[in-house]
Structure formats: structure tokens, C-alpha cells
Amino acid sequence: MNSSHVLVLPSWYPSHPSDVNGVFFRDQALALSDYGHKVGVVAVNLRSLRTLGRRQESLGMPRYEVDKGIPTYRRQIWAALPRIPHGNYQLWRRAARPLLKRYVREQGCPDVIHAHSAIYAGAVAVEWGREYGAPVVLTEHSTGFARGVYRQWQLRLAEKAATGSDVCVAVSPALGEVLGEKLPKSDGRWRWVPNVVAGRFDGESTQDRNHEAPVRFLNLAIMTAKRGQMDLLEAFAHAFRNSGGSAELWMGGDGPLRDELESRARQLHISHQVRFLGQVSPDDVPALLSEVDAMVVASHYETFGVVAADALMCGVPVVATRCGGPECIVEAEDGYLAPPRDPEGLAKAMVKVAESTHRVNRQAIAERAQARFSGEAIARRLTTIYNEVILDKSATPKRTV
């Protein structure tokens, strides 16, 4: 292996180790560091004006810390110009630039810049890479392309980032197809490398549960409409409302839809079978998985579906919708797939899992997932990409500071 100096530039990032926002970016950075690369992070987080008055970390000067050996430079800024084309992008760019300069001054020039999501880190990474002669790898994660939420100026910016990057990576084949359609100039350039499943999930929950206990399903997601939790409640009621308490649904997470979900559970007369867990720290997820029989992903669209991979790494079977990402995660012996926005189809898949819990080979599920999603497996694939782009750029001298 050729170790490299990799600067990770994410479009959003956890503000502390228990923050779930962008946790997969941090997990990949840690995996690359464990694999032997020198890794640093520069992260600018946009804070919505709608969060005014909520308790948040200071928005003052850039914050520096060493996170498990990774020098990490952070700053939070207000997303103050949402209605002005390029407004928030320019704010993000201006906040990132002094952090990048400080990073190079203190840590040296990276061999490669790995940006996560074109809006906005990818666009800034391409500009910075040209200035310093460093190749750029862009990994796209955003569901916004499939959901059609981006404006034309954002699509043009994303296309510029994709075509300006040396390698483009999508976290699922389905996302790569969407990106080729939405960003035509990038069509045919997208490779597939899945997200990392962190080492904390390595087989911790592979022991079998007591089959005398109720079958427990876990959903772990931000509670918004696109995550399909309303469909999940309908599916669970359809399948298990009259089961005499033989099944439970645990829902981890929080969000704007939580009150409506709790109300809907009461209306469906399943509130005694549904447990709302609230926000779950990433470090607490493995222990939680040891208490359940299956993970359920009910989303309308996912670019990857990291919680499904998390569950498989712990030997927990998965029921998921065919919503873009899970199709490349859940194999034939890992669980069942159902159509999105189809509570009846989801209910049938959940019943199949409930009926087969005693036949599940958790160890085999965990071993297959380890081979595909472990930090070492993904770091190995990314190292091949880094070596490729660094070799291609080797004739171009880097700027010194």
C-alpha cells in the first residue's frame, strides 16, 4: 500500500463524536487513518436561521482539535442567503478558504483532496485542487438529486464540481445513474464505492436472541416524510396489530414528524407495541442492535442506507424498500426488499422476517457484510483510487506555502 496525505473536505460534518450528522464522513476518515494514510479534515457546517434560539456550539472563530489522531478544523456559519443564487455557496466558500490555508500552513499540502458532496465541498475542492496542484476525488451522497430539490444554479455548480474532479464516486449504483441524468456532462464517470461501516459494528451483536421474546423490529432514522415512517406504522399495524403482542417496533431518532408518528400509532391502536427511543448516539447503536431481530428501512429514497449496512455488520437481518441504496446492500440471504411507499408490501416482508428469525445465521450475515463494508475494505478501494489520481497528477508540481 502507498500511504498518502488525504485532506477530507465534507459538505457537512459531526460537531462532536456523538453527533449523527455526517457520521459516515467521519467514519471513513477514521478508516483511512487506521489504514495508514495521513488524514486531515476541514469542515464548514451551515446552520439554518430556523435554529435561532436553540442551544448550539459557538459560531465564533474556527475550532481546531485532534480527533483520534486526525487534525480537524471546523467552523459553523449561518445559512443567511438561502434565496440568493450562489449566496450560501459563497458564504461556505469564504468560510472554508481561511481554514484550508491554515490547514496547509500547519499540516502541509495534501496529496489528494477527498470532497464529500458536490454542494458545496466539491465545488470548493476543485477550485482549491487547481490552485495547489492536488487531485480531487468527489464522493456524492445527497438524496437531493433524486428528489429534485436542487435549483438550476445548484445543478450547474454540482456539474462543474463533478467534471472538474479527477474521479467521481457515488455511494450506490442507483445514485450514479441519477447523477448521470441530472448532471449530463458527468454521465459515465461515476464509480461505486459504498460508505464505511464503522469498526464499532464489527460483529458485536451476532449472538442469537431469545426466540420466546416478541420479534423486535428497529427503525433508526431522522423522522421526516422521506424516511417513510408513516408507511412503516401502517405496515406494522397491518401485519402485527392482532398478533397478541408477538411483535414490537422500536423507532430510534427524532425530527419534525415525531409528534405525528406518535399520534398515528395511537390511531392505529399499536402504541402499546411501538417504542419511541428518541435520538440514539452512534456509539449506542451496536448495543441497541443486539436487542432486536431485524432492521427496517422504509425510506422513499436513500443514496446508500448506512443503517442497513450497520445492521448487517452486526448480523441483524434487514427489511428495506427498494429506494435506491438498499438494493446494493441487502443480498438474498440478508433479508427482504419491498417496494417504496407500499405499506402492504412492506408488511409482507416484515412477516417473512418474523417467521424466519429462528433460521437466521447471524454470523454468516456479519461476515459477508464485513467483507463489503468494513473500514479496511473501503479504505483499500479508496487507496487504489488515490494512487491512480496521484500518479496522473505527479507531473504537476504542487504549490508551496
Cβ pair 286, 265 in contact under 8 A: no
Fold adopted by 200-373? Rossmann fold (3.40.50)
Report domain extents, the chain: 5-196+374-393, 200-373
Q: What is the mean pLDDT of the chain?
A: 91
Q: What is the pLDDT of residues 308-352, one digit of tens each?
A: 999 999 999 999 999 999 999 999 899 999 999 999 999 999 999
**CATH fit for domain 5-196+374-393, picks 3.40.50.1010, 3.30.70.2740, 3.40.50.2000, 1.10.287.1120:** 3.40.50.2000
**Average confidence (pLDDT) over 258-275:** 97
Q: Which pLDDT does position 401 carry in this prediction?
A: 44
Q: What is the pLDDT of residues 142-151, one digit of tens each?
A: 999 999 999 9
Query: Could you tell me how far CA 112 lies from the centroid of its own chain?
Result: 22
Cβ pair 369, 198 in contact under 8 A: no
- pTM, two decimals, is 0.84
Q: Which residue has the cell 481554514?
A: 99
For residue 381, give the nearest of 245, 197, 192 by alpha carbon: 192
Residues in the chain: 401
More confident residue, 261 or 209: 261
Q: Which pLDDT does position 400 carry in this prediction?
A: 47
C-alpha–C-alpha distance, residues 51 and 45, integer Å: 13
pLDDT cut 70: percent of the chain above it: 92
Q: What is the largest CA-CA distance in the chain?
A: 70
Q: What is the pLDDT of residues 43-90, one digit of tens each?
A: 999 887 766 655 554 444 458 999 999 999 999 999 888 889 999 999
- The enclosing H or E element of 377 equals helix 375-393
Fold match, 5-196+374-393 / 200-373: yes
Neighbours of 139 (CB within 10 A): 27
